[in-house]
Amino acid sequence: MSEQHRASGVAGEALAHLPPDFVVTRPRRRDLWDTVLGMLDDVAERINLDPGIHAILRQPERELTVAVPVRMDDGPIRVFTGYRIQHSSARGPCKGGIRYHPAVCPNEVRALAALMTWKCAVVGIPYGGAKGGVQCDPKQMSREEICRLTRRFTSMIMPILGPRRDIPAPDVNTDAQIMAWIADTVCMLQNVATMEIVTGKPVSLGGSQGRKEATGRGVALITTELLKRQRRRLSETTVAIQGYGNVGSAAAKILNQLGCRVVAVSDISGGLYAPGGLEINAIDRHVDSHPGRLLEGFHAPGVDRISNHELLTSKVDVLIPAALEHQIHADNAPQVQATMVVEAANGPTTPEADKVLHDRGIVVVPDILANAGGVVVSYFEWVQNMQCFFWEEAEVNRHLKRIMVQAFQRVWELSERHHVPLRLGAYMLAVGEVANAVQTRGIFP
């Protein structure tokens, strides 16, 4: 739909005296970038942030938009639009994933880059935030087309990448193979072995043990810490997970192993519900064998099909949104029956919904804390690559648990001390850390 439209109806009559070529611009709908800026502005006021530093943090340091021409398998050339946005390098090299999705746009990438800045600060790793993406539908593309897209996109954004500048990682619709193509492209163009240019790559190319499950494992660790604070037993806890991709499936598997009862899961094909608990191993086998890696077609005794809306409003103890942003909004927040929400996705709750959940006494663990496990183990991978010394998976998981638990404790204690929700506490911690780095470094020149 066009961003502009001619005034019509009552409004058109009211504006009849204006020139015939007058055009009314439709207001832009609030998006994730608005949400991120709104939270930053709120925190800036609460912590009395210096206005100059506040202004610095309100906009990305660098934005790159590129045209990505790709020859398709059937012959014609299509030109895709790609982005790489670096929000802050005050605390270290920029870090953030690359996603392939039809909805990729500048404001989404800006928001996700800023969230990475806060996420790295919350867990105390020496990175700033970046994000990238290409506006495309990879589900309608062959693997060869995706390979050509990846290599051309990499060559276009390569001037701002580097192991001490900006290190990409997997995100929505990208994986270890795509990271391998990115690394190989950089190595070929620079004529130097630099596999540390990305994280989340195959273990055979220097990837870290435990990286694939890291985000989901972090979500599970944060969930268990929250349950301890709520004096809840794992064996008596029911869980619903929206989104059964890499993050949601790993969280489901680990929470199930810890004793929680995962009663509902869903993806774009719909959801599954079993009040007695789902057989996660059987579901994983089905997803692995499905051509689209979907829950679609899974059948088992006692398992009912449900919609994503029914999952989000199901009667469970813990709701884990692990899909895309703004899934919990003003319309469905009043119907959420979970007593705890752990945000595995980036920005899954709108500000309006967040207020509704808070007013109803529902505890929300924010995304910048809950899903930080992926960037923590990406940091481990980067460290291992730089040192050319690799860790066993048990060591990776041990360090991940230490960092996630410490981060949760810091956020919990700060939130209690200031009598604020966990989201606000996490942002106060993160913005304070980044602001301190900017202040200490000073403004160049």
Among 203, 198, 208, 90, residue whose Cα is nearest residue 153: 198
Q: What one-character DSSP code corresponds to residue 26?
A: P
Q: Which residues contact 213 (CB under 8 A, 6 or more apart)?
A: 246, 250, 253, 254
Strand residue runs (E) in 144-282: 166-170, 238-242, 261-267, 270-273
Instruction: Give the Å distances, CA to CA, from 223 to 48, 89, 369, 401.
Output: 32, 30, 11, 12
Using alpha carbons only, how large is the chain's radius of gyration in Å? 22
**Phi, psi (5° rounding) for residue 401?**
-60, -45
Do 207 and 317 touch, CB atoms closer than 8 A?
no
Tokens standing for residue 287: 């997803």
Please choose, from the candidates 307, 288, 306, 287, the residue with its C-alpha nearest in 3D space to the C-alpha of residue 297: 287
Q: 179: Cβ–Cβ under 8 A, 6 or more apart, which residues?
A: 168, 169, 170, 198, 199, 200, 201, 202, 207
Are the beta carbons of 208 and 375 closer than 8 angstroms?
Answer: no
Helix or strand (DSSP H, E) at 69 = strand 62-71
Strand segments, DSSP code E, in 248-317 are 261-267, 270-273, 304-306
For 76-89, give the DSSP string.
-EEEEEEEEEEEE-
DSSP three-state, residue 238: strand
Q: Looking at 128-214, which runs of residues are DSSP E strands?
A: 128-135, 166-170
Q: Which residues contact 63 (CB under 8 A, 6 or more apart)?
A: 83, 84, 85, 86, 106, 110
Distance of CA 340 to the CA centre of its chain: 19
Which of these is catalytic: 95, 119, 131, 201?
131
Collapsed DSSP state (helix, strand, coil) of residue 261: strand
Whether 201 is catalytic: no
Cα separations in angstroms, 293 against 246, 355, 441: 10, 35, 47
Task: Report the alpha-carbon distance of residue 340 to residue 317 in Å, rounded.
Answer: 6
Residues catalogued as catalytic: 131
